[in-house]
Amino acid sequence: MDPVTSGILVVVVLLVLMAIGTPIAFALGAVSLGALVLDRGMGELIYFGETFYGNVATFGFVAIPMFILMGAAVASSPTGRDLYRSLDLWMGKLPGGLAISNIAACSIFAALSGSSPATSAAIGKLGIPEMRKRGYPDGVAAGCIAAGGTLGILIPPSVTMIVYGISTETSIGRLFIAGAIPGLMLAALFMIWTLIACKLAGGYNSPNPVAQAAAQIKENVEGNIKALVRVLPFLLVVMGILFALYGGVATPSEAAGVGAFLCLVLAIVVYRMWQVKPVGNIMRDALRESVMIMLIIATAEIFAFALSSLFITQTVAGAIADLEVNRWVLMGVINVFLLVAGFFLPPVAVIVMAAPILLPIIVAANFDPYWFAVILTINLEIGLITPPVGLNLFIIKGIAPDIALRDILLGSLPYALCMILGIVLLCFFPQIALWLPNLIMGAGS
């Protein structure tokens, strides 16, 4: 069977398995094993387990569960509530300010947790009911949280950037810095659209009679300032981790381990989580997400190996490389591919499978690999708020089941257009992603 036919067959079987509800990791593993057995015979079964284990038995991958544990310590504690309250104090009384403060909260919480689903869930549980109570349209309330949550995979420290760095053997510290300014740029674009959407809707921040009493205002201010004080230690931990990475003081795995320990201790001490159950919940959440991601990484690596064994990867890469087109047309084709892949697969799976294949093509076309990492990540962010998978959409639906999925989707789509605008701006002005890494770590890759 020629590589093109094999590739089509593999993709069709994979899509069918996912369509009937098979978990991503199991679907990738089953298709990979089937392809390898058909290509090499039953003897391949002997090496499957060894290959599966070898794909994740790398010290660099220690950073992933450690950063996830750090995020779980933040997400499973009242940190999100305190962050939300403190931002609402300063921005909630502005026109459309509550929705804008929710995006700001998502941006900061993204840096604390590194996870888009955790960011959407933590801020959405507080922000959506409050926005609806104050008269915000359901679409605006749901859309700004779903979109704000996507910043979790771009603003450092980001788990997906770690996966990209390991998969492509690029500097994780430089990747983190490259995502900082684009992440803030997207947050600003989200805020601008939110303000426009609120004005178009004709109503926001309905007066709250209770909040008019001076004593109540004073009490709210004091409570929110105390909430901000409780959040500050977590922000200092994140700043310390980034300093250690950028300053060359520690490796990503070491920094992640220390950060996870400190955030866990802070969650226990600051919020008096002395009981076994809350700490157990943190460990449970971290273990669940870590196992899911590591399974996807292991099976995606085997899937990539299977594609290579069938010469599918080489055929596709050769076809793309042989396109006699302008390099920006090539980048447009790659963007469309990533966008479509993000519609169906989680970011980690797309990165592990696609990044090693695309990176040589990107470098040959004279594009910067760190700039491309940001472009790739934003494409995958779009997939988090667009059907058919749209993980953040379903998280918001779970938080607010009485909001129609149609309203959540329509409220989120303008933010997807903001992300596309962000990609266009990065193409015209690549220094948005490259200036800060070059300033801090010097030019070069």
Q: Is the pLDDT of residue 32 over 90?
A: no
Task: Report pLDDT digits (tens) over 382-439.
Answer: 988 887 667 788 788 887 888 888 888 888 899 999 999 999 999 999 999 999 998 8
Could you tell me if 155 and 116 are in contact, meaning their C-beta atoms sit under 8 angstroms apart?
no
Q: What percent of the chain has pLDDT over 90?
A: 13
pLDDT of residue 213: 39
Task: Report pLDDT digits (tens) over 133-152.
Answer: 777 888 888 888 888 888 87
Could you tell me if 89 and 136 are in contact, meaning their C-beta atoms sit under 8 angstroms apart?
no
How many C-beta neighbours within 10 Å does residue 30 have?
Answer: 16
Sign, Cα dihedral of 399, 260, 23, 314: positive
| 211-225, 236-250, 298-312: least confidently modelled range | 211-225
pLDDT of residue 377: 93
pLDDT of residue 426: 95
Could you tell me if 295 and 25 are in contact, meaning their C-beta atoms sit under 8 angstroms apart?
yes
Q: Is the pLDDT of residue 2 over 90?
A: no
pLDDT of residue 212: 41
Q: Is the pLDDT of residue 109 over 70?
A: yes
Q: What percent of the chain has pLDDT over 70?
A: 87
pLDDT of residue 425: 96
Could you tell me if 103 and 197 are in contact, meaning their C-beta atoms sit under 8 angstroms apart?
no
pLDDT of residue 215: 40
> Which among 187, 179, 181, 109 is positioned nearest to 147, based on CA atoms?
187
Q: Is the pLDDT of residue 445 over 70?
A: no
Q: Is the pLDDT of residue 181 over 80?
A: yes
pLDDT of residue 204: 55
pLDDT of residue 428: 93
C-alpha count within 13 angstroms, C-beta hemisphere, residue 127: 37
Q: What angle do CA 27, 413, 204 make, to 5 degrees?
A: 135
Task: Report pLDDT digits (tens) over 189-242.
Answer: 998 998 888 877 765 554 444 444 344 444 456 666 777 788 788 888 878 887
pTM for the full predicted model: 0.78
Instruction: Quickly state the pLDDT bin for 95 (edges 50, 70, 90).
Output: low
Mean pLDDT, rounded, for 39-59: 74
pLDDT of residue 404: 84
What's the rounded Cα separation, in Å, for the pair 136 and 205? 7
Instruction: Quickly state the pLDDT bin for 317 (edges 50, 70, 90).
Output: low
pLDDT of residue 90: 64
| 39-53, 164-178, 236-250: least confidently modelled range | 39-53
Average pLDDT, the chain: 80
For 36, the token pair is 């390898």
Q: Is the pLDDT of residue 276 over 70?
A: yes
pLDDT of residue 257: 87
pLDDT of residue 218: 46
For 280, the token pair is 């157990």
